[in-house]
Structure 1
Amino acid sequence: MPDFVAPQVDVPALTEVLDGPHAEIRDLCRRKLIEHAGLLDDAQRLDRDGYRERVLQTLLQLTDAGATTLGFPKRYGGGGDLGAAIAAFETMAFGDLSLLVKIGVQFGLFGGAILQLGTERRHDRYLADVVAGRLLGCFAMTEQGHGSDVQGLQTVARYDPGREQFIIDTPVDSAHKEFIGGAAAHARMAVVFAQLEVGGAGHGVHALLVDLRDRNGRLLPGIRIVDDRQKIGLNGVDNGRIWFDRVTVDRENLLDRYASVSADGVYSSPIESPDRRFFTMLGTLVQGRVSVAGASVNAAKVALTIAIRYADRRRQFTGPNGTEELLLDYGMHQRRLLPRLARTYGLHFAQEQLVAEYDDVFTHPDTADPKRRRALEARAAGTKALGSWLATDTIQACREACGGAGYLSENRFDALRADTDVFTTFEGDNHVLLQLVAKGLLTNYASEFNDLDQLGMVRFVAGHAVETVIERTAAHSLMERVRDLLPAGEDRGDARTGLLDPSYHSAMFRWREEHRIDGLARRLKRGAEDGMNAAELFSRCQQHAVEAAVAHVERQVLEAYEQKLASLPDGANKTALCQLRDLFALSVIEADRGWWMEHGRLSSQRAKAITREVDELLRKTRPLAVQLVDAFGVPEEAVHAAFLH
């Protein structure tokens, strides 16, 4: 146990800080999770079909309570508050995750696509029924042959001016829609993404509304659906595969905010560039990534709540005083859990900033600055990647930290681990998303970027990016500032000097980010000048792109910590969060110390001092650990771990 008196965390006050501006909505969702806590037992008790029906009925009950539709305009029965909608979704991630994903498909993907890609005429026709749960739908984008490469989708929508209809067709088997949530049992309609052909000319991927079933649940002519059956997790969601055999839909079924087709077959769009039009359409659907990021962080909170509480009561091996030691008093156990706790807090604050930015931009999307929107999309991609990896890593670490007890289904880790596993790949594979972040960093979100294919991207970098990166970041002066903070030898003082200085953390994070961006740009420029094939060149640089993006997002997390701390009054809670901030920053530096040492930014003495400082921070954080997870506000009914009762 520590030989110092740790400040006590004011748990309710810290929960209020974490809940932020939507505390009332989060409390509503917590109450609903308590009311429907039996779903967590039913997930283990029911067969697949029974579980799916139970999830659907719970969704409809939550819809009646107004907990799922806050992001839709009030005129259609929604709450008119995008930020509140995401806060509600994040909070529901404390509970059954099949229910969460079912909510996301119905209201975030299906309803969100109609809202963001349709015009008022489509809104008036469909949204009230979507919001009320009378019209259940799905989001049919991914195909067996094309996932991340949405522009390469093969499903076709050909316009027939004689009938004023589109003909939807699956031209080859690999073009069937794959892993579509809601398709196997419940969805009556789908938002289908297909290559639009008008008058023999292709206009790229567009979204259309396609009926799948009649009101009695029978498949309509030309529709074939196969159940995906048992999955690793999320078996309360009815995923399926869809084939279309010359299915006809009315011209009005094209979601026409960014493009329309006249009765006589004339295609028009307010956005002339096909690439820019495509990226604009996809950009409006960024809410999915924002939501998955928050849900991932909250799933990690549940795992940490279980594991840290368990470690604070489970004893093992006799200590110096003759009694068995608590698991959480062991340094290795602290190493396994507390840096992840610090990272979870940091990503919570980064997610809070992301949601605020998203709410601001998409409350008035037509007037938002395009560059700001692209930066938001990149931030959503990066936060989603690090958030979902956090969930995967933290849940596994917490399971292991609970030993054999963590392997029992009754203690919930199996469901948490299985249900969040797909978060790393849906709404975008994390590695692909981080490459998109890196591309945005290279071009500073320039308007030209969305018009570039891979070859054009390499040419752009070869001509502009190196000078742009250096000029934008003033990298050389930054290097000098970091060098001043990193003594080459111990003759310049104690190696631990300044390790808890926030300016040291910021300088280190910024230098790593800018060095990696600069290095990536130089590699691309050098390869292009040497005449290397663009696809091969970019492939060779993918690892560097991912590393640059990770450094960028981790710097954003650190800055989110700093900005949150600056907003808080002095006191025990701020002191505790300062410790977590230091633990996050030094843990990141420690984990990547080989890179910093390789680049001359960290001496071996300094690296050893950082490890000692991390150990000291762990020791200081240990007495606060249970209070820090209690502040997450996970309802006891949602913790649902038998060994804690």
Structure 2
Amino acid sequence: MTNGDTPSGVLGKGMADALRDLLDGRWAALRRTSLELLGKLEPPGELDREAYRAWVLEQLHALADGGHPLIGFPTEYGGKDDIGGSVVAFEVLGFGDLSLMVKAGVQWGLFGGAVQALGTERHHAEHLPAIMSLDLPGCFAMTETGHGSDVQHLRTTATFDPETDEFVVHTPDPSARKDYIGNAARDGRMAVVFAQLVSGGDEHGVHALLVQIRDADGNPVPGVRIEDCGPKAGLNGVDNGRLTFDHVRVPRANLLDRYGKVAADGTYDSPIEGESRRFFTMLGTLVRGRISVAGGAGSATKKALTIAIRYAERRRQFTRPDTGEEVVVLDYLAHQRRLLPALATTYALHFAQEELVSALHDVSDDRAQRELESRAAGLKAVATWHATATIQACREACGGAGYLSENLLAGLKADTDVFTTFEGDNTVLLQLVAKGLLTSYRDHVGDLDPWGMARFVADQAVGVVIERTAARAIIDRLVSGSSDALLDRGWQVRQFEDRERHVVEGLARRLRRATPENAFDVFNAAQDHVLHAARAHVDRVVLEAFVAAVDRCGDTATKELLDRVCDLYALSVIEADRAWFLEHGRLTPQRAKAVTQAVNDLCGALRPDARRLVDAFGVPESWLGAPIIG
């Protein structure tokens, strides 16, 4: 029997259940009820843009009727107060239509989430029930034509007029136009607008206000100009629009004032001192959206891998000279190389996402919040880049069939492409991660004065001696040709830890040269180093999450399988960055070749389990209607 003839059920139902239970994790029951709700919806088929938008809105109402939006909102307003569960439910939508997922995210995650996080009780009581029921469709109007990532310098203004007790919201120039705003072009009636707050002649930084943009009949209100962004590369079921405000007046009560209040006389008051600190505190409360995007990208990736691996198990190409039989394409090493390391990384990111969602749900203090924001930024960047690369690999692995719309991969590719730049441009997000790493490094070393640096170097020298002594036995086994040395989990983890530590230390030393006069140039010259430090950190965090998941797996056979998947993830990361490991003496040329061979061997070993691994994701069959997989 060849690998291609291996029955998909050969591993037994017990393993399938154990694998599915482990993947479902902390919110298993909610994940499954969300899948049931998604399974009741029908895929849209081929529709023109306006019909597609109408279908998405109709399905959004079906989600509201099914209780989907209640999960994350406070119980006193009809919700279930389950923040982590709301992210999990959003992830599940990623198995279905991605325009529907994004529109749901805009309505309940961004618009509703901003009212919940930035507003106070009166805003909650007045608006949250209508937001949950979809009686009040809304927008999240942050991004401007001229300012995307640099939110702190948005140019839209909200100036308080004490004579009328109103704010005047205004777009001062074309670059301040609110751009790419979901729900704006067709369905939104109100927007959370981020603007520079001005009162009493003083500027107080970016704040959020509720601004009505359409009346009850769906017409733009006076002073609000609404434009359609037009056709996009994907997500055309989402009505992205542009908003321009011409001295639009809104009541003072519409200021979402949890972090900054304006009295009737124009006096400004905030519980947080400092404009910059206040700004980052406000943005930090919206981190759920970034975590949700990472999860949604993960779901789309799982769907693409499910299609590509199922197809690869049935598609045959070329004959074996010894038997004359056509070969199943997943039996080719080159095809395994395309798909199986990506599958292993998808598993790793799944468990890292699960830890991140738990951290969001359980966050209890400022320090935990800062750590959450940094981890969310890094995981969002890595998960969405992984989605882009993997969905492309899946499309190519399915040949011309993968290019047909009916086989879903082309749509997944188009719909997820923007994930790398919305909810934070990935390159900028990794710089935020690196900034957090440097702050932690500084806290450990001090101000990087000579004595502090000497102390730190001494500590590190002791640690390196201990580490290298512990690793000596493993290295000896590698040199002697032992095949299992690279599969030593301790060695793998140490490689990730050592790379992260070395790269961060080197970056800190480079940035020590900065002065007020040359700070920009020094940082700009080190940006490649900055990004590498952040990526090394995220890789280590992801590996640790995978290792923890394997450790808590109670079923022996499932644990052995996941051990191999974890090995493939770890070694494929090392292989991808083997130039660094070679340059810095962590691998010899012979060991680098051994890593590549080990990745090949693991692909072959996991080949019979590929179908089992993708089936465990639980993508509903009704949303896997690609003809190429039957």
TM-score norm. by structure 1 comes to 0.93
Name the aligned partner's letter for residue 443 of structure 1. T
Question: 2: CA distance between counterparts of 1:347 and 1:359?
Answer: 18
Distance 1:473 1:263 in 2: 58
Closer, same or farther: CA 632–85 of 1 in aligned 2, 3 Å? same
Using the TM superposition, name which of 610-619 and 476-485 deviates more: 476-485
Whether the aligned pair in 1 keeps the contact of 2:185 and 2:226 (CA below 8 Å) is yes
| 1:258 is aligned to 2:263 | no
CA deviations 1:186-239 (Å, max 9, x no partner) are 000000000001111100000000000011101000000110010000000000
Select which of 323, 329, 332 maps to 2:331.
329
What SS does the corresponding residue of 2:314 show, helix, strand or coil? Answer: coil
Superposition deviation, residue 496 in structure 1: 4.1
Conserved 8 A contact 1:475-1:515: no
Paired AA for residue 588 in structure 1: V
Q: Identify the residue that residue 39 of structure 2 maps to in structure 1.
A: 34
C-alpha separation in 1, matches of 2:134 and 2:68: 12
Aligned twin of 2:440:
444
TM-fit CA distance, 1:572: 1.4
Offset at 1:495? Answer: 6.1
CA contact (8 A) 1:495 1:609 kept: no
8 Å Cα contact 1:466/1:521 also seen in 2: no
Report if aligned partners of 1:191, 1:210 keep a CA contact under 8 Å in 2: yes
Are the structure 2 counterparts of residues 139 and 475 from structure 1 closer, same or farther at C-alpha, using a change threshold of 3 Å?
farther
CA distance in 2, matches of 1:482, 1:291: 40
Is the counterpart of residue 566 in structure 1 residue 568 in structure 2?
no
Q: Spell out the pairing of 1:413-562 with structure 2 (5 A cutoff).
A: 413-444=409-440, 467=453, 470=456, 474=460, 477-478=463-464, 481-482=467-468, 485=471, 493-494=480-481, 496=483, 498-528=485-515, 533-562=518-547
Measure the CA separation in 2 of the matches of 1:548 and 1:211.
44
Paired residues of 1:184 and 1:239 also in contact (CA < 8 A): yes
- Code of the residue aligned with 1:414 in structure 2: it is A
Matched residues in 2 for 1:310 and 1:25: separation?
A: 30
| Residue in 2 that maps onto 1:96 | 97
Contact 2:18 2:555 in 1 (8 A): no
Instruction: Work out whether 1:133 is the aligned partner of 2:118.
Output: no
Specify the SS of the correspondent of 1:311: helix
Using the TM superposition, give the Cα deviation of residue 469 of structure 1 relative to its aligned residue in structure 2, in angstroms.
11
Amino acid at match of 1:522: R
- The alpha carbon displacement at 1:526 in A equals 2.5
Question: What are the residue-to-residue correspondences of 1:134-533 with 2, within 5 Å?
Answer: 134-319=135-320, 320-361=322-363, 368-444=364-440, 467=453, 470=456, 474=460, 477-478=463-464, 481-482=467-468, 485=471, 493-494=480-481, 496=483, 498-528=485-515, 533=518
Q: What is the Cα deviation at residue 76 of structure 1?
A: 1.6
Asked if the contact 1:165–1:248 (Cα under 8 Å) also holds between the matched residues in 2, the reply is: yes
Query: Who is 1:585 aligned against?
Result: 570
The range that moved more, 161-170 or 533-542, is 533-542
SS at match of 2:486: coil
CA distance in 1, matches of 2:97, 2:450: 48
**Distance between the aligned counterparts of 1:133 and 1:191, measured in 2?**
15
Q: Which letter maps to 2:383?
A: G
- Is residue 639 of structure 1 aligned with residue 624 of structure 2? yes
1:608 corresponds to 2:606: no
Could you tell me how far apart the structure 2 residues matched to 1:424 and 1:106 are? 20
Q: Which residue identity is paired with 1:350? A: A
- Displacement of 1:562 after TM fit? 1.0
Change beyond 3 A, Cα 1:58–1:540: same
* CA–CA distance in structure 1, aligned partners of residues 105 and 600 of structure 2: 40
Secondary structure of the equivalent of 1:205?
strand
Cα distance in structure 2, aligned partners of 1:373 and 1:564: 23
Confirm or deny that 1:53 pairs with 2:38.
Answer: no
Q: Distance in 2 between matches of 1:371 and 1:56?
A: 39
- What residue identity is the alignment partner of 1:99? L
**C-alpha deviation, 1:466, in angstroms:** 8.1
Q: Give how far 1:519 is off.
A: 0.8
Rounded to whole Å, the distance in 1 between the matches of 2:454 and 2:523 is 19
Number of residue pairs matched by the alignment = 622
Structure 2 CA distance for aligned equivalents of residues 537 and 390 of structure 1:
30
- 1:557-608 CA-partner distances (Å, limit 9, x unpaired): 1100111111112421111100000000011111111110000110011111
What is the CA–CA distance in structure 2 between the aligned matches of 1:467 and 1:231, rounded to whole Å?
52
Partners of 1:475 and 1:28 lie apart in 2 by 53
Aligned-pair identity (%): 53
Provide the rounded CA distance (Å) in 2 between the counterparts of 1:241 and 1:133. 21
Give secondary structure in 2 for the equivalent of 1:78.
Answer: coil
The residue aligned with 1:22 is 27
Change in CA separation of 1:170 and 1:564 when aligned onto 2, cut-off 3 Å: same
Any stretches of 5+ residues in structure 2 without a counterpart? none
Give the distance between the partners of 2:477 and 2:33, measured in 1 at CA.
Answer: 56
TM-fit CA distance, 1:461: 7.0
3-state SS in 2 of match to 1:193: strand
